[in-house]
A and B are shown apart, each in its own frame.
Chain A
Amino acid sequence: MFTIIRKLSWKRTHLICVLFASVVILSGWSAFHDPVVNGLFKFVYPANFGNRINEAADNLTTNQGVYLGRLLFYEKKLSANNQISCGSCHQQERAFTDGLALSKGVDDVLTTRNSMSLVNLLWTRKFFWDGRAASLEDQADFPLTNPHEMGQSLAVSADKIKNDSQYPSLFKMVYGDERITGDRIKKAISQFERTLISAGSLYDQYLADRYKPTEQQLRGIILFKNCEHCHGGVKNYKEVFHNNGLDLEYKDGGIQVITGLAADAGRFKVPTLRNIAVTGPYMHDGRFKTLGEVIDHYSDHIANSSALSSFIQGRSEINSDKMLRLTKIEKEDLMSFLNMLTDTAFLHTAAFSDPNLLSIKSK
């Protein structure tokens, strides 16, 4: 009698397991292939990030727009040689950078500046190292059409993807008709990029009182207060532009190239420090391979040019007595804090990944 009951429950347990596994597999497979629930996209972020967001009035973010934008972000047909997508120079596991000092475009020529991390762009108002674009939609023009990046006119891109059976219906779902245009491509990609929100680092958890830092991290937090004027804030980004003492003479004038003003010489965006441990090489030209080299620069090697940011003036090699001169232990403490800014979940969130790879995996 007991044996029969045991046999029955064993069979039932197996059945339940099989059913459960089927549900998991099916839901995993359908996560991307299910029809999109049309409607406005709901951004989720901590209250302390604030609501000063930069979303174009004529391009409100929708679920269907993000779905299409993600496909286009990873679409290699948008490049002249069909080999490069936005995701080539902006790889998720590197917080949407590419691990290179300078990136190679369709013509094998290197870009002039380092690939920037794509994160928390919903709050960004000035794009590129020189802040020359005021919206994601405007900035998208450059990488898509620059001959040393994706190298293809928007009209050609639109024409190429018209022949891909999945796109006309998706464009209809997002824009109301099947017309594929460069403007619509840029808008959809921008919608996807606005969803790249990172708010799950140890530092975020510390601010929310859900993580107790180690002694070393706490020392790093205190040391970092010296850097907060340019790098502070809950998003680890302040959207300011400074000459950070890299050079006395400039191969790349930065914002001066645009304004022609001496005060803007060597002035570049102070980039986000979020996920900074995985976004090397560093600086606008990728000159520093490691974070250690970056800390060494601010501690020991500031070049005192006339355009040097007033916030680090008096710390130059010329006035060596005024340098920060951090000790080895202080540098390690600072590094320990910077490692707190890595948002591991952001680097692996399925919703940000290449959907083509997901499809291959599920098959």
Chain B
Amino acid sequence: MYTQLKNHIVFLLFVAIVPFTVTAQTETSQSIVKVSGEVLTPFNITLASLKEYKQTTVIRKDKDGKDHTYLGVEVSELLEKAGATLNKDLRGENLTKYMLAEASDGYQVIFALAELDGGFADRKIILTTNVDGHPLPANEGPFRIIVSDEKLPARCIRQLTSLAVKFAN
């Protein structure tokens, strides 16, 4: 009798606690990359949504001087989804546009749109979440830009939070 009652209490407590646990999990903030500026449809990139795009691999050296394999999505694909003026639209005054990438620590770098467009350059500039088969470590990720064939890694911006397309004045 006593054991049955105890089991009932435990069950009721469990039922009472579970919703709060779920709520706590859903309230945990999620890292995103905001795509904004001179685009038709601004949107937020999440870890899950990045899997919907064609995956590209880039191998390059990091600060440690060693080659690493990064898996991600070409930045141009993401900007195309937002409606940035790439491909046939990248002409005339649109050639004065650039993308400002910003990290959570405030670090900023820019890329001319023409640098990102496959019609202008062969090299790959990807948004990665994965290095050597593992998610990026916390001090690099969850999102990072990787630029292939660039000598310094200064534009391989870590902890990326925003991609904003702008006109140069």
Contacts and interface: CB of A to CB of B under 8 A. Distances in A.
Contacts of B29: 259-261
A242 B138 CA distance: 13
Contact of A310 (B28, B106, B139): B139
A241 B28 contact: no
Contact of B31 (A261, A306, A309): A261
A314 B142 CA distance: 20
A259 B162 CA distance: 14
A211 B19 CA distance: 67
A350 interface: no
Contact of A263 (B27, B106, B159): B159
Contact of B104 (A238, A264, A306, A313): A264
B31 A240 contact: no
A126 interface: yes
Given A260-B28, A261-B31, A126 B139 contact: no
B28 A263 contact: no
B105 interface: yes
Query: Does more than half of chain A's interface fall in helix, strand or loop, or is it mixed?
Result: loop
B106 A131 contact: yes
Contacts of A255: 104
B152 to A, nearest CB: 14
Interface residues of B, number: 13
A306 B138 CA distance: 8
B106 A126 contact: yes
A151 B104 CA distance: 32
A309 B140 CA distance: 10
Contacts of B105: 240-242, 267, 309
B97 interface: no
A150 B81 CA distance: 47
B111 interface: no
A240 B107 contact: yes
The residue among A126, A240, A259, A310 with the most chain B CB atoms within 10 A of its own CB is: A310
B140 A263 contact: no
Contacts of A309: 105, 139
Contact of A241 (B27, B31, B104, B140): B104
Best-surrounded residue of A240, A255, A260, A263 (most CB of chain B within 10 A):
A263
B104 A261 contact: yes
A332 interface: no
A343 to B, nearest CB: 24
Contacts of B106: 126, 131, 238-241
A91 to B, nearest CB: 28
A308 B31 CA distance: 17
B158 interface: yes
A238 B158 CA distance: 17
B24 to A, nearest CB: 12
B139 A313 contact: yes
A263 B138 contact: yes
Contacts of A240: 105-107
Contacts of A310: 139-140, 158
Interface string B19-53: 00000000111010000000000000000000000
B35 to A, nearest CB: 18
Contacts of A261: 29, 31, 104
A240 to B, nearest CB: 4
A253 B102 CA distance: 21
Contacts of A267: 104-105
Interface in A124-168: 126, 131
Interface in B116-169: 138-140, 158-159
Contacts of B159: 263
Nearest to B141: A263
Contacts of B107: 240
A345 B104 CA distance: 35
Contacts of A259: 29, 104
Contacts of B138: 262-263, 306-307
A263 B104 contact: yes
A117 B81 CA distance: 43
A256 to B, nearest CB: 9
Nearest to A242: B105
Contacts of A238: 106
Nearest to B159: A263
A307 B28 CA distance: 16
8 contacts: A238-B106, A241-B106, A242-B105, A261-B31, A267-B104, A267-B105, A307-B138, A310-B140
Given A241-B106, A261-B29, A306-B138, 15 more contacts: A131-B106, A240-B105, A240-B106, A240-B107, A241-B104, A241-B105, A255-B104, A259-B104, A260-B27, A260-B28, A261-B104, A263-B138, A267-B104, A310-B158, A313-B139
Interface of B: 27-29, 31, 104-107, 138-140, 158-159
**6 nearest A-B residue pairs (beta carbon):** A260-B29, A310-B139, A240-B106, A241-B106, A240-B105, A241-B105
